[in-house]
Structures are given as structure tokens and as C-alpha cells.
């Protein structure tokens, strides 16, 4: 079977890869398990030196890797370069902090020694998406490898080149052969990989449907899993918000990565006293953004990653309009080659519409009117998702209280858009998944939290 890479900006097939057989996959996993036995015995100093080198390799290949992302999934060059820099920063963060995060914790009991020790689990299997093809991988791989685990990657089929490049980066940095491997396989083989006895844990970033399938299989095999799934992130704009700042932040968040981010702002819930001003300025700002060839640095918005994804997004917009939403901007497939979709704004968005109920994975904004603060928070929480959220207010103490106690999400930012950061835990609740990536919380997900007592 061939796995094809189609450039979403042109619609042309640019590369194809031979999918691996079941025998090849089993052989790679076995080699990874054998390599991990030795890797678990290495010191933090050894691992740290290699991880720092991986960060250097990333930066030395930054332009090449950004161009590959651009070709495979349409990310503009500036966005690709920023993603590689972020991966390098994660390498440095875990290289410098892993030993501290995993040091033994002494506990006072009647024993002469009683402690909690953090030990590696073994080979971790990662199923990763195309939208941030390097960052999604490195935010699992850095803590997993620094903890003494091995890594097996099944990446999205449209970013095979990036998947192979990541394996190459770790080898180039000096990691042992088979410490981190890439599998070129389709979704139909994921279940078999999870069943493999050498796989000790599973992590997935993807849709809620994919999370149910992978998490269900991991549970059946009694293997630890972490799921980072979709989101319908609400951004609440209160009556006292700085509207100009809110518009700028909200538009940036909605259009990041051509709108293809699980933590992009999706639903803009605006107090009725300021909704007129917010909507007018928001539409103008969305309209000003230039869409086109992602290799042209003057363009801010590239194509959607695949034609089928663009078409599904358009279907969600049309269905929302059919159910009563008002289309203020965009909403039409442009007459140009490639999987492009324009910045789009919907108002009068109500329950029962895709724009209210579902994740819109593209540059489409849903503006929802709220009667007051209480109503805005109610609407924000009226979702099965719970990944990120934002609150805009000039009263920072009130904003912090709302973010901390009243909006249900894995992360809530005040007067800014949600970002992932290696220093902070990342993940969601509800249909946005479970478990955490990043910070020391992410590192502790894939270790054996072991009690040791000496009489």
C-alpha cells in the first residue's frame, strides 16, 4: 500500500511512501523494546546531553523542516519555523529539569527508608495528528525519552516526511538506534500495535472519535493512556473588556495555523452591551487577513491541510446557516487551486447548529450573544468539550476568579489566547480527553510511581 503526500496548496501528489507490513512493524517494536532495556540504565546526564543536542539539530534544520511542513500540510513558513523553535525549547526544558522532576521523594514512616521512586514504563506508542507535526510529537517524546522510556510514532498519513525526519533528528543527535522509531502505517493497524506486549503505554492527540477507539483499546489491554482530543473553546468577552485588544487576540487565536488548532478560539460569547462594537471590529480584522500560497511570507493564512477537511468545514458552515445563523463574512469556497477556505464569521449562532455544538477545525468564528456575565459563563460551559477557554475583562481579579472557578476547561487564560507551554500542564476534560502533557505532570504520566520501603 502507498501512502501519498498531497500538497494542499496545489492539490498535487508530491511524494509517496510504502506502508510497512505487519512483520516490519513487529520487528521495529521488538528492536525498540530491546534498545529500551539499555536506555533505561543510562544516567540523566547522558540523556540530557543527547536531548540538548536534539534541540540543536532542530534549530540547524529549521528552514528545511518548515518547508517540509508547508509542502505536506500547508503551514506557512513563519509558522513552521516558530514550531521548530518551540520544539527545541522543549528539548532544553526537559534536558535541564527531568532529573529534578523524577528525583526520589522521601516519606516519613516507621521504616528506616520509605520513598517514592519514579521508574520508566518502557516503550510508549504515540498516535499523532498533522496540524502541528513536530510540536505534537516532541511534547510527548521529550519527557518520555528523558524518563527512560522508548518512543514509537504513528503519525498522520499526510505527514510521513515529517515523521521520518523526527526519527532522523534523534539519530542525528546521537540517541541510540531504535530509541525512537517511526511506523508508516494506516489507522487500521493501530489496534494491533497497542496489543503488542512490548508497548507499555499509549498517547494520542486527535479527534474525540479517535480517542474513544484508542483509549478503549488501551483500556482493554490494561495499558496507561493519555488522550488530548478536540475542543470548542469559548472566549468570553465581558461588558468591561478592552474591545480592541479582545478583537486582536481573538482573531489571532481563531486564525492560528489557518484555524486548525485544537486550542484555537472557536466560540466568541459576547455580552450584549458590547456585541455590536465587537462584531464590527472582529469582522473587519478577519477580512483584512491575506490568504494564499503558504510559501509567500506576505500571506497570513494558508490552505486547509486536506481537501476533504475543507469540504467538511464548509458543510458545517452551510448547515449552520440553514438552521438560522447569519453569515457576515466568507463562507464560500474560493475559485482557486488548493484546499483554501476564507476567514468566515457567523452570528446568531444557537444550540443545535454545528457552529455551536461541534468543533470547527478551520478559520470559522461563531459569535454568540450573552445577556450578561452569568449567561456568558453558562454558554461557555454548554459543551461536551473542555480543552481551553478565554475571558476578557479589565477587572483582572474577577477574570482570574472566573478562569479558576467558573469555566470548565483544562486551561483558561485571561486577556490572552490559550497557548501550550512546556512549563505548564496541557490537556482537557470531558470529550477533550484526559491526562496531561508537558510540565512535570506530563512527565509523571508515563512512569511507574513506585513505593520503596526498607525495614
Q: Which residues are catalytic?
A: 228, 262
User: Which grid coordinates are listed for 105?
Assistant: 521523594
How far from 140 is each of 127, 147, 200, 271, 415, CA to CA, in Å?
10, 11, 14, 38, 28
The Cα–Cα gap between 97 and 88 comes to 14
The three cell numbers of residue 372 are: 450578561
Amino acid at each position: 500500500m502507498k501512502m501519498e503526500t498531497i500538497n494542499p496548496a496545489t492539490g498535487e501528489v508530491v511524494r509517496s511512501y510504502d506502508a510497512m507490513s505487519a512483520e516490519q512493524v513487529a520487528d521495529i517494536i521488538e528492536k525498540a523494546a530491546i534498545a529500551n532495556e539499555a536506555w533505561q540504565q543510562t544516567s540523566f546526564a547522558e540523556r540530557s546531553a543527547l536531548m540538548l543536542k536534539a534541540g540543536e539539530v532542530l534549530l540547524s534544520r529549521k528552514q528545511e523542516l518548515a518547508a517540509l511542513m508547508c509542502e505536506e500540510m500547508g503551514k506557512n513558513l513563519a509558522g513552521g519555523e516558530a514550531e521548530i523553535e518551540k520544539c527545541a525549547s522543549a528539548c532544553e526544558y526537559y534536558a535541564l529539569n527531568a532529573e529534578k522532576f523524577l528525583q526520589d521523594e522521601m516519606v516519613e514512616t516507621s521504616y528506616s527508608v520509605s520513598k517514592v521512586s519514579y521508574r520508566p514504563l518502557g516503550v510508549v506508542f504515540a498516535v499523532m495528528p498533522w496540524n502541528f507535526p513536530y510540536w505534537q510529537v516532541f511534547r510527548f517524546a521529550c519527557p518520555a525519552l528523558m524518563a527512560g522510556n522508548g518512543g514509537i510514532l504513528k503519525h498522520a498519513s499526510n505527514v510521513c516526511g515529517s515523521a521520518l525526519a523526527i526519527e532522523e533528528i534523534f539519530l542525528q543527535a546521537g540517541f541510540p538506534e531504535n530509541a525512537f522509531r517511526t511506523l508508516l502505517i494506516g489507522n487500521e493497524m493501530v489496534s494491533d500495535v497497542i496489543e503488542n506486549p512490548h508497548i507499555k503505554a499509549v498517547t494520542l492527540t486527535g479527534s474525540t472519535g479517535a480517542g474513544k477507539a484508542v483509549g478503549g483499546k488501551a483500556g482493554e489491554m490494561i495499558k496507561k493512556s493519555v488522550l488530548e482530543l478536540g475542543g470548542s473553546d469559548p472566549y468570553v468577552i465581558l461588558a468591561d473588556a478592552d474591545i480592541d485588544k479582545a478583537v486582536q487576540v481573538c482573531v489571532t487565536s481563531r486564525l492560528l495555523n489557518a484555524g486548525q488548532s485544537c486550542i484555537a478560539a472557536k466560540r466568541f460569547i459576547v455580552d450584549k452591551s458590547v456585541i455590536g462594537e465587537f462584531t464590527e471590529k472582529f469582522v473587519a480584522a478577519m477580512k483584512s487577513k491575506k490568504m494564499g500560497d503558504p510559501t509567500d511570507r506576505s500571506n497570513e493564512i494558508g490552505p486547509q491541510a486536506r481537501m476533504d477537511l475543507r469540504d467538511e468545514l464548509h458543510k458545517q458552515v452551510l448547515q449552520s446557516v440553514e438552521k438560522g445563523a447569519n453569515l457576515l463574512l466568507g463562507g464560500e469556497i474560493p475559485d482557486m487551486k488548493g484546499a483554501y477556505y476564507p476567514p468566515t464569521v457567523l452570528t446568531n449562532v444557537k444550540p443545535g447548529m454545528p457552529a455551536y455544538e461541534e468543533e470547527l477545525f478551520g478559520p470559522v468564528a461563531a459569535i454568540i450573544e450573552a445577556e450578561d456575565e452569568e449567561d456568558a459563563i453558562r454558554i461557555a460551559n454548554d459543551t461536551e468539550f473542555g480543552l481551553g477557554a478565554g475571558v476578557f475583562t479589565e477587572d483582572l481579579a474577577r477574570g482570574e476568579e472566573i478562569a479558576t472557578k467558573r469555566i470548565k476547561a483544562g486551561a483558561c487564560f485571561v486577556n490572552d489566547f490559550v497557548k501550550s507551554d512546556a512549563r505548564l500542564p496541557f490537556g482537557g476534560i470531558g470529550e477533550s480527553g484526559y491526562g496531561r502533557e508537558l510540565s512535570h505532570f506530563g512527565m509523571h504520566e508515563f512512569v511507574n510511581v513506585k513505593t520503596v520501603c526498607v525495614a
